[in-house]
Amino acid sequence: MGLKKLITAVSEIIGYSVMFWFFTYVGLTQKLSQTPIPLCSLRPLRLDIP
């Protein structure tokens, strides 16, 4: 009984997180396609990558 509730809760959390990331991805791609960001603002994000 408790295990079934736990599985339901975990599946709901996973579903909500997937929806959240999906909408975030769609919003970001639409923003990028509408207003292109200059590459200079993206450069500090890549400094830690060798």
Upper half-sphere CA count for residue 48 (Cβ side, 13 Å): 1
* Phi, psi torsion values for 13, nearest 5 degrees: -65, -45
Q: Reduced to 3 states, what is the DSSP secondary structure of residue 50?
A: coil
pLDDT at 31 over 80: no
Average pLDDT over residues 5-20: 93
Q: Between these two residues, 30 and 7, which has the higher pLDDT value?
A: 7
pLDDT tens digit string along 13-26? 999 999 999 998 88
Strand (E) or helix (H) holding 3: helix 2-34
pTM score: 0.44
44 pLDDT above the threshold of 60: no
Looking at residue 9, what is its pLDDT?
Answer: 94
Distance set, CA 9 to CA 1, 4, 21 (Å): 13, 9, 18
Domain ranges in the chain are 2-46
